Amino acid sequence: MTIIFLHLSLTFKQMMKHAILILTLICTFHSYSQIEESKITIGTNYTIKSSVLNQDREIQVYLPESYNTTKEKYPVLYVLDGQWFFANGVAIQKSLRTPGAIPEMIIVGIKTKNPLRRTLFNKERAKFTSFLKKEVIGFIDTKFRTTNERVIYGWEAAAYYISKLILEEKDLFQGAIITDGGLAPEKTVKDFKSDKDVYLYIANSKRDIYYIASTEKFNERLKKYNPKNLIWKYELFNEEVHETMPHLAMYKGIMYYYHNYDSLVFESIEAYKKVGGIPYLKSFFKERAKRFGGDEKIDDSTKNSLIWLAWKRDNFKYFSFFMEEFKGVLETKRYDSAYWKNRLGQFYLKHKDYKNAVIFFEKGIKKYPNSQFDKAMREGVKKSKNNL
């Protein structure tokens, strides 16, 4: 009897294991059956039947997220060799838009395969420029809402093409970003003239043994003639190599072109003083308004960052100065809380400015009764008044 009992017991355990396994599989299958999938798209392909090049050419177009919900016009970034770098342009645009470092842009990738790209960017560059102007830019400006602000990007062979293009066709693009190559004839550099600012950003690495010599030569020519209204910068990233430069250079170039688009942020009070203080801020925002439109006044974000900088660095002299200079910003929604009334009051109290400490504490107590900072503010008022 004992043997039979044990056999039945083992069989029951095995049955339970099988039942649990089946139940697990059913639950797993059920959970997977609830998953839905959809493709991620970052743009649209268009085929241009080019009469200039006598061939079909593909371009890629990314539209900003707000494009279909506004009537705004957008600047355009043209990316040569879009088959490799179009996605980079979209990624940089989307990531930098989060803090508002750059405006929303339309990204256009122009596909050009080897070995055709080397021919079009060199011997047939005049033909490619005609295609670019008449058929690509013409198509983009007709089909989409664009401003007249255009930036062009190119790597390697495309960098040499753009080096000449930006100096010869100065009204076609307002900015150019080139990397791992680039050189324009000395006469072209010398003869450059423009009534408007044109931006040129050049990047390379000394480890790019293929093209660093020509990039250095281009830099020397630019320094020699320093063309009027050509605003240019040359940067080396010597930890990179020929193949790893494109994304970094595109990011750095876009940030250079839009260097005065975002609000100002300083790492120290010394840095703020070094650039010229308030007169510099005023000139910066005046220039920004001239270039991008908008108000010439110092924006609230910059005012906030300077107040917080002095507060975080425990620099009461400049904290007091900024609080008085930018007192209007204290009436904005950001400071409309018991938290901020208490924090500012406590900072004044710490530095024995009892009068201002009382002002902020009493505002906080009155406007936000029974807040979690009520006790701290009441104690702050008492301590401050005892020292007045």
Full 3-state SS string of the chain: CHHHHHHHHHHHHHHHHHHHHHHHHHHHHHHHHCCCCCCCCCCEEEEEEECCCCEEEEEEEECCCCHHHCCCCEEEEEEECHHHHHHHHHHHHHHHHCCCCCCCCEEEEECCCCCHHHHHCCCCHHHHHHHHHHHHHHHHHHHCCEEEEEEEEEECHHHHHHHHHHHHCCCCCCEEEEECCCCCCHHHHHCCCCCCCEEEEEEECCCCCCCHHHHHHHHHHHHHHCCCCEEEEEEECCCCCCCCHHHHHHHHHHHHHCCCCCCCCCCCHHHHHHHCHHHHHHHHHHHHHHHHCCCCCCCHHHHHHHHHHHHHCCCHHHHHHHHHHCHHHHHCHHHCCHHHHHHHHHHHHHCCCHHHHHHHHHHHHHHCCCCCCHHHHHHHHHHHHHHC
Token pair of 85 as six digits? 């770098």
8-30 CB burial, b ≥16 within 10 A, e <16: eeeeeeeeeeeeeeeeeeeeeee
Burial bucket for residue 271 (CB in 10 Å: 0-12, 13-18, 19+): exposed
Q: What pLDDT score does 35 carry?
A: 87
Q: Report how far residue 116's alpha carbon sits from residue 252's, in angstroms, rounded to the nearest whole number.
A: 28
CB 182 within 8 A of CB 216: no
Whether 105 has a pLDDT exceeding 90, the answer reads yes
Q: What pLDDT score does 22 carry?
A: 57
pLDDT band at 97 (very low <50, low <70, confident <90, very high): confident
Domain ranges in the chain with CATH number 3.40.50.1820:
44-257
Q: pLDDT tens digits, residue range 33-75?
A: 588 898 888 999 999 999 999 999 999 999 999 999 999 999 9
- CB count in 10 Å sphere of residue 186: 13
Whether 25 has a pLDDT exceeding 70, the answer reads no
pLDDT above 70 covers what percent of the chain? 91
Q: What pLDDT score does 323 carry?
A: 97
CB 348 within 8 A of CB 320: no
Comparing 5-14, 18-27, 106-115, which segment has the lowest mean pLDDT?
A: 5-14
User: What average pLDDT does this structure show over 113-117?
Assistant: 86
Q: pLDDT tens digits, residue range 343-358?
A: 999 999 999 999 999 9
Residue (of 165, 161, 207, 151) closest to 181 by Cα position: 161
Domain ranges in the chain with CATH number 1.25.40:
269-387
Longest C-alpha distance within the chain, in Å?
Answer: 109
Q: What pLDDT score does 240 carry?
A: 96
Whether 254 has a pLDDT exceeding 80, the answer reads yes
* CATH superfamily for domain 44-257: Alpha/Beta hydrolase fold, catalytic domain (3.40.50.1820)
Q: pLDDT tens digits, residue range 255-295?
A: 999 999 999 999 999 999 999 999 999 999 999 999 999 89
CB 242 within 8 A of CB 180: yes
Instruction: For residue 203, give the amino acid letter.
Output: A
Whether 316 has a pLDDT exceeding 90, the answer reads yes
CATH architecture of the region 269-387? Alpha Horseshoe (1.25)
Q: What pLDDT score does 8 carry?
A: 39
Q: Give the SS3 label for residue 60.
A: strand
- What's phi and psi for 187, nearest 5 deg? -65, -40
Q: What pLDDT score does 6 carry?
A: 38
Whether 170 has a pLDDT exceeding 80, the answer reads yes
User: What average pLDDT does this structure show over 3-15?
Assistant: 45
What rounded mean pLDDT belongs to the chain? 92
Global pTM?
0.86
Q: What pLDDT score does 13 carry?
A: 52
Residue 145 contacts by C-beta under 8 Å, 6 or more apart in sequence? 67, 71, 72, 73, 74
